[in-house]
Amino acid sequence: MPGRPKKPFRASAKLLAEGLPSPFPRTLAPNALKYLREVVDSGMTTDMMGRFEKAFAEALGVQYCIATPGCTPALHGLFLACDFAPGDEVIVSPITDYGTVQGLLAQDLIPVFPDTPPGNINFSAETIAPCLGPRTRAILCVHKTGIFCDMDPINALAAQHGLMVFEDCCQAVFGQYKARLAGTLGHAACFSFDPEKTMGSDTGGCMVTNDPELHERARYCAQNRAGTMRAGFGRVHTDVGYAYRMPQCTAAICLAQLEHVREWVAHRDKMARLTYRLLSEIPGVTPVPIPSYVDVFSCWMMGFNLAPGAFRCPPAEFAATLANAGISTASLAEYYLMPAALEVLRRKTEEGCFPYSVPPASRTYTYSAESCPNARDFLKTFIRWVTFCEKWQPEHCALAADIVRETANHYRA
């Protein structure tokens, strides 16, 4: 079908002067102040955290939600609740944030990072399979930038091996995989509501699950400090426990944000797909692929890869030029490569520190970029920015694509 001739996009002087929107100042839903006032007026007696937990669980269609001060403590709470022993292994996405792994490290579990398939930001069932062993207990999937891991084959593989499947949904809040919501695709999932994130508050996070035992144990160990009353004595602590409770004022803001997040996510989906379509028209530029199983792309972070040899500058210079030209925060993010970034693990494995001593580990481990060559190569040419947000309109998508196009033309080999 003959397409309409495309008008070249020309950003207005006003748009150029204003620049691309960023998440700050944060969009706060209308009821934020109302719920905060309720907390204050009640003299801290209202159970805003409980209200948020109920509302979030209902919105996701799950049985249980435990609200925490962030995703990092939520994931720690999840691993506290699991019946895993020091030296047991958890398969973890190799491209992620440190917050994904801190909880399992705290429990002396050993992360194993499979590679990604070439050109992909997430791992897959095929790359996970060779990493499974007798000590593997769980697979922790990160839906990086809002692109889902392909969960059906991962769940099938996990079922074959009797493994638990967890999701880190920090970057995919209310995204949908084959019409199913992020956070409902495994045994449990954790979220972040830090101020930069899609449902941003001042801080905050949560764990969700349909498993009553996992819920009960996470509530007990992660929120109630593993404390239980003994007659004639008072509280005793039967386990290592923490008080990872979402603050009431944070819960008030999260509750208000929850009322609007789905419309923000629907808008992000449209704007992200538009931006990626425009970027894909630029020779040498490959936006993160959006697989067809992503029904709602809750894009948190935008990014693309540069074709090797297509430009006369290193990727870092390309990114710096974009940042100067108006895509603020554009930069490489090689530090997302966990096996390379976790120097602590390199040291511990070299020194044979617990739990990397044998026992409790049953083999030796090495952590380096070379263990995940595809993920390493992906990140070497991956330029991303974190200022994409619900405020973007089609003209912002076009402006961002124009900036990338002009930079690409400038540096084209």
Ligand X SMILES: Cc1ncc(COP(=O)(O)O)c(C=O)c1O
Catalog residues that contact ligand X under the rule CB under 6 A: 70-72, 96-97, 99-100, 142, 168, 170-171, 192, 194, 205
Residue closest to 173 by CA, chosen among 265, 237, 239: 265
Beta carbons of 252 and 269 less than 8 angstroms apart: no
Residue 88 vs 194, nearer CB to ligand X: 194
Residue 176 vs 321, nearer CB to ligand X: 176
Residue 85 vs 106, nearer CB to ligand X: 106
Q: At its nearest, how many Å lie between ligand X and the CB of residue 170? A: 4
Q: At its nearest, how many Å lie between ligand X and the CB of residue 373? A: 22
Beta strands in 36-142 (DSSP E): 64-68, 89-92, 110-112, 136-142
Residue 190 vs 278, nearer CB to ligand X: 190
Q: At its nearest, how many Å lie between ligand X and the CB of residue 323? A: 20
Q: How far is CA 199 from CA 26, 202, 230, 276, 328, in A?
A: 10, 10, 41, 22, 21
Q: At its nearest, how many Å lie between ligand X and the CB of residue 203? A: 7
Determine the Cα angle at 389 with ends 388 and 391, to 5°. Answer: 120
Tokens at residue 153, please?
A: 């084959």
Residue 188 vs 361, nearer CB to ligand X: 188
What does the buried/exposed string (b/e) look like for 256-283 if buried means 16 or more CB atoms within 10 Å of the residue's CB? bbbebbbebbeebbebbbbbbebbeebe
302 phi and psi angles, rounded to 5 deg: -100, 155
Residue 80 vs 274, nearer CB to ligand X: 80
Q: At its nearest, how many Å lie between ligand X and the CB of residue 194? A: 4
Tokens at residue 311, please?
A: 């430009």
Residue 100 vs 122, nearer CB to ligand X: 100
Q: At its nearest, how many Å lie between ligand X and the CB of residue 196? A: 7
Which residue's entry shows tokens 């160990």?
Answer: 221
379 phi and psi angles, rounded to 5 deg: -70, -20
Residue 67 vs 296, nearer CB to ligand X: 67
User: Which residues on adjacent β-strands are paired with residue 304?
Assistant: 287, 383
Q: At its nearest, how many Å lie between ligand X and the CB of residue 156? A: 24
Beta carbons of 189 and 208 less than 8 angstroms apart: yes
Beta carbons of 355 and 90 less than 8 angstroms apart: no
Q: At its nearest, how many Å lie between ligand X and the CB of residue 65? A: 15
Q: At its nearest, how many Å lie between ligand X and the CB of residue 141? A: 10
Helices H / strands E in the chain, number of each: 15, 16
Residue 194 vs 402, nearer CB to ligand X: 194
Q: How far is CA 118 from CA 85, 115, 307, in A?
A: 33, 9, 13
Q: Provide the edge-to-edge strand list for the sheet that holds 164-168.
A: 64-68, 205-209, 188-192, 164-168, 136-142, 89-92, 110-112
Chain position whose Cβ is nearest to ligand X: 99
